[in-house]
Amino acid sequence: MSSPATPRPNQPWLPKLVLAPSFLLSFLFIYGLIAWNGYLSLSASRLLPNYEFVGVEQYVNLFDSERWWVALTNLGIFGTLFIGCGMALGLFLAILLDQKIRAEGALRTIYLYPMALSFIVTGTAWKWILNPGLGIENVVRQWGFENFTFDWLINPERAIYTVVIAGVWQSSGFVMALFLAGLRGIDDSIIKAAQVDGASLPRIYWRIIIPSLRPVFFSTLLVLAHIAIKSFDLVIALTNGGPGFATDVPATFMYSMAFSRGQIGLGAASATVMLATIAAIVVPYLYSELRTKR
């Protein structure tokens, strides 16, 4: 009564009513489909979904499959290197760009530009660049270094690293932009105070600036991690999972089982495992990060 300025909703059901359709839709199309996929992974579905219950048989088959293990290993290699190198390179570029240099705007645009391309374009371009008969190897050999070899793309043990190269090339500019924004948000007076105290520049970065970028690390990690786990188009465009199935990742495994091999049940099982993996990494992290904010 004493605060008439606070608007009181005289129709308490209105917000609920307005929110209901979108809530219902997202509930149905996110959690509903997750549940459906979960059920399919326990069914005998082959070419089309069917609902004959077979228990965990599809999961047993999944973890028996060598190709699935290759896909998981690749995800481990790709995820670690893609996130690690992407962040390190992005931060490094951001720190260099933050030195109040000339033509910063132009450089920033150049670094950021790869993000404007889709992974399909990146993959196709790198496929040409890394192809031993067309790209880098050929060029260096034409310069006269006859024995130069750079054939990772066609080497089943190295091919996954070419995916990392292309992925890092694509995303490090974007990471740089995020870090640069973070760097610009730091209060100058702290740095000046540190300088007055006689701290060297690397020391200032290491002890003051980088720790204060913690929220930026957090959001970058989240963005890169989900790109890594769902990475599909880059692999398809760059290597198509090959040579053989050496660069398969869980996403491409899932696609080929569910859609071209007629094993929807197996594909659904792999999708469930992917979801569980993401949840296992992201949920505790989100929890710890968001709780400290309070």
Partner 1 sequence: MSTSNLVVRRLAGALAAAGLMGATAAQAGEVEVLHWWTSGGEAKAATALKGKLLALGHTWRDFAVAGGGGDSAMTVLKSRVVSGNAPAAAQIKGPSIQEWAREGVLAPIDDVAKANNWDTLLPKSIADGLKYKGSYVAAPVNVHRVNWLWANPAVFQKAGVKVPTTWDEFFTAAEALKKAGVIPVAHGGQNWQDFTTFEAVALGVGGTDFYKKALVQLDQGTLKSATMEKVLATFKKVKDYTDRNAAGRDWNLATAMVINGQAGMQIMGDWAKGEFLAAGKVPGKDFVCSPAPGTGKAYTYNVDSFAMFKLKNDANVKAQKDLAAAIMSPEFQEVFNLNKGSIPVRLNMDLAKFDDCAKQSSADFVASSKSGALLPSIAHGMAAPSAAEGAIKDAVSQFWNTDKMTPKEAMDRIASAAKQK
Residues that bind partner 1 (CB under 8 A): 46-50, 66-67, 127, 131-134, 151, 153-154, 156, 239-240, 242-246, 256, 259-263
Closest contact distance (angstroms) between CB of 127 and partner 1 is 7
- Alpha-carbon distance of 292 to 37, in angstroms, equals 34
Residue given tokens 């540190």 in the structure block? 194
Which burial class, exposed, middle or buried, applies to 284 when counting CB atoms under 10 A from its CB (0-12, 13-18, 19+)? exposed
Closer to partner 1 by Cβ: residue 154 or 222: 154
Closer to partner 1 by Cβ: residue 162 or 220: 162
- Alpha-carbon distance of 234 to 248, in angstroms, equals 11
Phi, psi (degrees; rounded to nearest 5) at 48: -125, 160
Closer to partner 1 by Cβ: residue 15 or 244: 244
Closer to partner 1 by Cβ: residue 50 or 109: 50
Closer to partner 1 by Cβ: residue 171 or 247: 247
Closer to partner 1 by Cβ: residue 41 or 263: 263
3-state SS track over 217-278:
HHHHHHHHHHHHHHCCHHHHHHCCCCCCCCCCCHHHHHHHHHHHCCCHHHHHHHHHHHHHHH
Closest contact distance (angstroms) between CB of 25 and partner 1 is 19
Phi, psi (degrees; rounded to nearest 5) at 281: -85, -45
Closest contact distance (angstroms) between CB of 272 and partner 1 is 19
Closest contact distance (angstroms) between CB of 235 and partner 1 is 12
Q: Which two tokens stand for residue 230?
A: 């769902």
- CB-based contacts of 92, cutoff 8 Å, min separation 6: none
Closest contact distance (angstroms) between CB of 186 and partner 1 is 46
Closest contact distance (angstroms) between CB of 193 and partner 1 is 57
Closest contact distance (angstroms) between CB of 158 and partner 1 is 12
Closer to partner 1 by Cβ: residue 61 or 212: 61
Q: SS3 for 45?
A: coil
